[in-house]
């Protein structure tokens, strides 16, 4: 779990860095950065609200990462931006791994389930 928390912190800080270096013109990257930081905290503390954030960031991250990778490869040769492409592929794989892991372990985040009467099972 710590690995995925660190992953979301690194991604969040990187996205906030992009926001600052773009003179705040791509504000949605800043929103994604904050969501990543909130998700990192939620995963580290095993908060139940982190599960929906991981799900949302999975779909957003896969869409954003795959689209960026595709257009980067199409617009330039693979050799020209090899480290960027490798980083994007690593981002996509880590996003997928975090999603699969959290979905497999989501019961740890959700806590004890309760039945209709409100008693814990």
| Residue 32 domain-assigned (yes or no) | yes
Element (H, E) at 93: helix 82-104
pLDDT per residue of the chain (121 residues) written in tens, 0 to 9: 789 999 999 999 999 999 999 999 999 999 999 999 999 999 999 899 999 999 999 999 999 999 999 998 888 766 668 888 899 999 999 999 999 999 998 888 765 454 444 454 4
| Residue 118 domain-assigned (yes or no) | no
Characterize 48-70 residue by residue with b for buried, 16 or more Cβ atoms within 10 angstroms of its Cβ, and e for exposed: eebbebbeebbebbeebbeeebe
Count: domains in the chain: 1
| Residue 58 domain-assigned (yes or no) | yes
Report how far residue 47's alpha carbon sits from residue 15's, in angstroms, rounded to the nearest whole number.
Answer: 23
| Residue 113 domain-assigned (yes or no) | no
| Residue 13 domain-assigned (yes or no) | yes
Q: Which of 37, 35, 30, 27 is nearest to 5 (CA)?
A: 37
Residue numbers of the domain that contains 60: 2-106
pLDDT score for 117:
47
| Residue 117 domain-assigned (yes or no) | no
Residue 120 phi/psi, 5-degree rounding, is -80, 145
| Residue 121 domain-assigned (yes or no) | no
| Residue 116 domain-assigned (yes or no) | no
Quote the radius of gyration of the chain (alpha carbons, Å): 17
pLDDT score for 65:
93
pLDDT score for 23:
93
pLDDT score for 55:
95
- Two tokens, residue 50: 């982190």
């Amino acid at each position: 779990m710590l690995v995925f928390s660190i992953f979301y912190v690194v991604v969040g800080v990187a996205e906030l860095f992009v926001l600052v270096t773009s003179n705040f013109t791509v504000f949605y990257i800043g929103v994604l950065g904050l969501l990543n930081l909130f998700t990192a905290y939620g995963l580290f503390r095993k908060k139940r609200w982190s599960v929906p954030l991981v799900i949302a960031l999975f779909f957003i991250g896969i869409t954003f990462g795959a689209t960026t990778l595709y257009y980067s490869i199409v617009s330039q040769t693979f050799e020209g931006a090899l480290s960027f492409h490798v980083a994007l592929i690593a981002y996509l794989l880590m996003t997928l791994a975090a999603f699969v892991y959290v979905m497999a372990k989501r019961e740890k985040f959700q806590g004890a389930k309760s039945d209709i009467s409100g008693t814990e099972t």
